[in-house]
Each structure stands twice: as C-alpha cells, then as structure tokens.
C-alpha cells in the first residue's frame, strides 16, 4: 500500500518517475493535485465559466490518467499547460462558439478600442487620464489597474480581488467607457 504522506513529500520529478515505473495513479494524482489551481485558472480564462472550468479540470485529469504513459514528458508544467489549453480550445470548438477573443490581446468586446497606455499620447492626455482614473468607482479603478497597468488576466483579477468573472469584465468595460467620457470632457475644457 502506498503511503500518501510520503508521496506528498516527493518532488515533481520523482513523482513522475515513480508513476512511470509503477503505474500507480496515486503518484500522478499527487502531481496533478499540485497543479489544480493553475489548471483551473487557465480553464476559467479560456472558458469564461466557472462550472465549465471545474468540469474541464476533472476531464483533463481523467483523460491524462489514461494517456500519460504514452508521452515522454521532460517538463511537466509546460506539458500540462499545453494539454489544458488544447482541452479548453476543444471544448470551445465543441460548443461551436463563433467568437473567441484572446483576453490578453483585446480588452473589450467592442470595436471602439480605447487604449489606456499609449506612449505617444500628449502630456495633456496623460494628465487627463490620471485625473479621470481617480474619478472611477473603486472596483473599476482596481480592475483597470490590474488589467492594463499590471497586465493581469481576467482570471488573475478574479483571484486577486474576489470579484466574479462577469463583474471583472463589467468593471473593465464600464471603467473604460467612463474614462473615455471623462477624458473627452476634460480635454474639451482645455
């Protein structure tokens, strides 16, 4: 019988080695358990739905447990990231979603994209932006700071703030609109 306390003390390389030698699922289970928060965050980022993300985490584990022996894995972290990402993309295609937006490349779903950080903006516009940021509600200000200035993903912001995913998206979209309106008014006065 396998001692779970001993397994939990093994490093990732040893867990993988033991799994391949013994084919005991407990070794892979411990390895995967360590990555569940990261896999969930990735799935939440792509699927944008907590229930689908939970299901994906479980599906990935079940699929991998049966298939892992077929792979020669050098870096478990990178390999698992690729598998989880591909699984999410498969789920999206299966659901026949027609629009897929990489949230790291585009912030809001509308065509009127207003860049918050534009290196060629004038000092006047930068001053207006700084002022207008202070006029936003705290939730919008926090979400916009994390998303644009710290380049955090929606999933990261959910974890950092405790806001729901839909709230984060709303705060960012409404915050951008409020900033644009405020900056337009401030610049019109000058």
Domain coordinates in residue numbering, the chain = 4-94, 123-189
What's the CATH fold of domain 4-94?
Rna Polymerase Sigma Factor; Chain: A (1.10.1740)
Give residue 117's pLDDT. Answer: 41
Q: How many whole angstroms separate alpha carbon 182 and alpha carbon 190?
A: 13
Per residue in 72-108, pLDDT (tens digit) is 777 778 888 888 888 988 888 887 644 444 444 444 4
pLDDT tens string 26-37? 888 888 888 888
3-state secondary structure of 187: helix
What is the DSSP code (8-state) at residue 177? H
Record: fold of 123-189: Arc Repressor Mutant, subunit A (1.10.10)
Using alpha carbons, select from 110, 179, 107 the residue that is nearest to residue 141.
Answer: 179
Read off φ and ψ for residue 53, nearest 5 degrees.
-65, -45
Average pLDDT over residues 138-163: 85
pLDDT above 60 (res 153): yes
Average of pLDDT values for 146-163? 82
pTM of the model as a whole: 0.48
């Amino acid at each position: 019988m396998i001692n779970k306390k001993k397994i939990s003390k093994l490093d990732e390389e040893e867990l993988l080695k033991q799994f391949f030698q013994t084919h005991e699922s407990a070794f892979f289970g411990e390895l995967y358990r360590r990555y569940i928060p990261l896999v969930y965050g990735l799935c939440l980022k792509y699927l944008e739905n907590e229930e689908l993300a939970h299901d994906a985490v479980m599906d990935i584990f079940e699929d991998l447990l049966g298939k892992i022996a077929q792979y020669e894995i050098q870096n478990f972290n990178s390999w698992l990231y690729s598998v989880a990402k591909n699984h999410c993309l498969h789920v999206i295609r299966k659901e026949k979603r027609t629009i897929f937006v990489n949230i790291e490349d585009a912030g809001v779903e509308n065509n009127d994209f207003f860049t918050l950080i534009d290196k060629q903006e004038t000092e006047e516009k930068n001053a207006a932006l700084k002022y207008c940021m202070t006029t936003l509600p705290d939730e919008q200000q926090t979400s916009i700071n994390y998303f644009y200035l710290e380049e955090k993903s929606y999933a990261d912001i959910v974890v950092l703030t405790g806001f729901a995913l839909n709230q984060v998206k709303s705060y960012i979209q409404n915050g951008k609109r409020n900033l644009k309106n405020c900056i337009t008014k401030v610049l019109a006065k000058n």
